[in-house]
Amino acid sequence: MDNVIRRRTPGARLSRFVVYAVLVGMALVYLMPLVIMLLTSIKPLEEIRPGTLLALPQAPTLAPWITAWGEACTGMRCEGIGGYFWNSFSIVIPAVAISTGIGALNGYVLTQWRFKGSEVFFALMLFGCFVPFQVVLLPMARTLGWLGLSSSTAGLVLVHVVFGIAFTTLFFRNFYVAVPRELVSAAKLDGAGFLRIFWRILLPVSAPIIVVSVIWQFTQIWNDFLFGVAFSAYETQPVTVALNNLVNTSTGVKKYNVNMAAAMIAALPTLIVYVLAGKYFVRGLTAGSVKG
């Protein structure tokens, strides 16, 4: 038996080596644009003009990053994305928290407190996931104007909450389907009410799907450009709109190093979120896949 194992070991090692070589090669190809962005962002313009994208910087500098951060826009000209970076946080944090909370409550009701027409209600919520954003720009603009929230941070938060609820409801509903109904029934017999069951029983086991909802919503809202450019004023624009303004600013010289640095700064929050919580994202997605 040991001889058989020894004879198979070199082949198994070769197969493993091939698999890892392919994976590393694909990872390098996938990361190549990021490497080019990083190298370009720390080069002076004199080193970029010859067109050697993959060449290491001869005189690395952080000046492009400082310029990219810069100051807020003045008039029609954008000098940096720093101020808008914090605008995005002021939009993302409340929108993610509200849509995740409402989605969790919806998922709880649709699985453990079903009512007449609940399946139709869920179908309509699911339909909301497939409505193109461009279709609702005009109705949403009129609604924000009627509410007095046009061109405001609160208006952008409301827009993202409305569109995020459909997705978060789907996540939590599929997750709570796997929770035994007997657990909720026992809590009802003990006198626990609607909110107490939700707060003391369902939420403590919802950490995986909460992480999924937070990562999904954070990424979608942070990277949004359409709603940001349509429903914001200069002082309330998110970082994606500021990045577009910076890249498209015509000053006679294209500052590719500044543009790349600004793009890296804008992408850092979502990159950090995925690095810190990426493994929980996959775990949460598969947690409710057994039932429902």
pLDDT in tens, 250-262: 566 778 888 899 9
pLDDT of residue 288: 52
Over residues 196-222, the pLDDT tens digits come to 888 888 888 888 889 889 998 999 999
Q: pLDDT category, 234, cuts 50, 70, 90?
A: confident
According to the per-residue pLDDT averaged within each range, which of 29-33, 186-190, 191-195 is highest?
A: 29-33
Q: Which two tokens stand for residue 82?
A: 């720093």
Residues 257/44, Cβ–Cβ less than 8 Å: yes
286 pLDDT higher than 70? no
CA distances from 87 to 84, 148, 179, 253 (A): 5, 19, 38, 28
85-120 tens-digit pLDDT: 889 999 999 999 999 999 999 888 888 877 787 788
Cα gap 108→38, rounded to integer Å = 44
What torsion do the CA atoms of 133, 139, 142, 143 make, to the nearest 10 degrees? -80
The predicted structure's pLDDT at residue 76: 45
Q: Please say if the pLDDT value at position 6 is more than 70.
A: no
Alpha-carbon distance of 1 to 180, in angstroms, equals 47
Question: What span, in angstroms and rounded, lies between the C-alpha atoms of 43 and 19?
Answer: 36
Which DSSP letter does residue 248 get?
T
Options 3.90.70.10, 3.40.50.12280, 1.10.3720.10, 1.10.10.410; CATH of 72-287 = 1.10.3720.10
| DSSP-based three-state secondary structure for 77 | strand
Model pLDDT for residues 61-87, shown as the tens digit of each residue: 888 898 888 754 444 444 678 889 889
pLDDT tens by residue, 146-181: 999 888 999 999 999 998 998 999 889 888 888 877
Domain ranges of the chain: 2-61, 72-287
Q: Which secondary-structure segment (H or E) carries 6?
A: helix 2-41
Q: 3-state class of 74 per DSSP?
A: strand
Nearest CA-CA partner of 157 in 93, 104, 216, 102: 93
Q: What is the pTM of this model?
A: 0.82
Spatial contact of 107 and 284, defined as CB atoms under 8 Å apart? no
Tokens of 184: 């909720």
